[in-house]
Chains A and B, each alone.
Chain A
Amino acid sequence: MMKKLLLLAFFLSFAVGATANAADKTIVLDGSTTVGPIAKSFATYFTRKFGIRVTVSESGSGNGAKSLINHTCSIATLSRPMKAEELAAAKKIGVNPVAHVIALDGLAMVVHPGNPVRSLTKAQISSIYRGTVTNWQEVGGPNARIVVIQRESNSGTEDSFKELVVGKGVQITRNAETQASNGAVKNRVSTTPGAIGFLGLGFVDRSVKSVAVNGIAPTIPSVKNGTYPVTRPLYFYTDGAPSGPVKQFIELSKTADGRRMISELGFVNQ
């Protein structure tokens, strides 16, 4: 018995030592599910090239900001700028968030592939999400009820969408369904004939159909030159000016390899 306990204690101390050692060499990222794919492919690349471990969690922009404030990550990934309250909370405990724009992203409005609607105006989308338009017929589609899909309150995508399309301070209809990630929204839209949802441009594939907003299709050029109306920057946030491996990691977005990874994932370089 005693022997077993000693053995256990030995292993535990070893494990603690191991994590403590790893902490110096690990970059921890937390935050947006939209920025997640970029962060992950950067992480794989970075680990392979420099031998430094990078862990990426995707828990939403809000959680990312919280993690940075609580010192549980070295880089917070956000799909929206930090809010005034978050900055105030950070300042209060001596954290100084610094924003780095790493890429641009268009928010694509997506519908079921069988939906004939090709284009919506911003005002139409806004009425759909406010609940004043409930049938596809009213926006030039078939006679079918609209299933409105939004993201949870934790999501930077949801915040951007509200700000860019619905308008600040406007309530989204309480009939709107809420999904927890870009992937879940895509899944629901691709399997529900009457659904409409919004996705980061990088998540759009053939399983859903993206519609043009104000007549402009969400494409990489239209996002880049700013003509697509629902465009937003994506951020890495650090506590103070980055240095060492963290700085190297962030500057990856400016290197040729980094830019290639960003565009391969469907996002847009600045």
Chain B
Amino acid sequence: MAQHTAPATGGSSLADVEKASSKARNETIVRMGKFILRRLLAGIATVTVGVYLTVLIANMGGALDDIRRATIQEGVANFIALQALEDPEIRAMSQEQRNEMIAEQIALQEKRFGLDQPFAIRSFRALGAAMTLNLGFADQMVSDSGSKMVRNIILERLPATLVLFGTAYLLLFFLTLFGGLALSRRYGSWLDKGIIALAPTSAAPSWFYALFLILIFAGILNWLPFGGMVSAPPPPTPWGYAKSLGFHMILPVTAIVINAVFSGIYGQRTFFLAFASEDYVDMAKAKGLSNKAIERRYILRPTLPPIITSFAFVLLSLWGGAIILENVMNWPGLGRTYGQAIGQFDTAVIVSLVVVDAYLLTFTLFILDILYAVVDPRVRVGEGSNGR
């Protein structure tokens, strides 16, 4: 970086070079910051559009309004009932008077929440509520701790999903990276051909492989559990808990890996092969650098940004299958919550889950974008900083 800017300053003294170097570092930070900010804004815009779409779909069925009306009604009824305990005036009222009072309060509350306003305004209000994760109350479902707040229900199950898919995605990333690298070295071998032949297996989602894995390893061989996250009752010690968790994670993680690993390795390998035929790689070979050094400096470095991008798309395509996988494996995460919410027809929870999914996906992509900025020299140095 220093060399890059030093000639511009025409520096002769050491102080000049140092000054230039620190200036370059500052510029890099600014550029990175700009890049990340741009990505963040794009991410927020995407989430907004996605959530607004969700709001629109949900509202056309009137579901969101129904949810809010029900929330208000319940709240008012509870409030009056509580008031009645303390206020003798309310207690003295007849049932009709009390109902009238409740209706009055409900109308007031609905006005307060803007339910008397036209749909266009209300939809943006709903958008605001969803964007701030102000998710309201569930119709039927209750969190394990007994809360009816959708936020609590979702927060309770989020860790299970994150643990499972975090592990699987991490494993997948390194498997495809090193698998692809290894394969590009053995280009044309039977192993190479075998992996290419297996690449279309990704057409089937992860839950599909989970069915077969359960059949073989749980049904026939009886080695691994049929599903669930920990054995029941959960082991009391943290170590025992972790062991049980790991044991239960084998099948779902394997299913996700089988689903994506072959096409992933295939894609990576093609990247590496394309970059391995660049002139500067030949130059490095001519210089007599070791294969390892060539791979690390001349192949891995320039391919890392596109690999991260392609991995982002792998994540996107895996997400749908992941929801079903949790249902197949009885994994108590967000996907399983979808299944339960559909079973109980709990629209409030379903709408919120879609919103949370939009957030999760965007957040994952944002993280990958930052990684991209870190590994992509163009973003740091500023040449062609318009990114991909």
Does A associate with B in a complex?
no
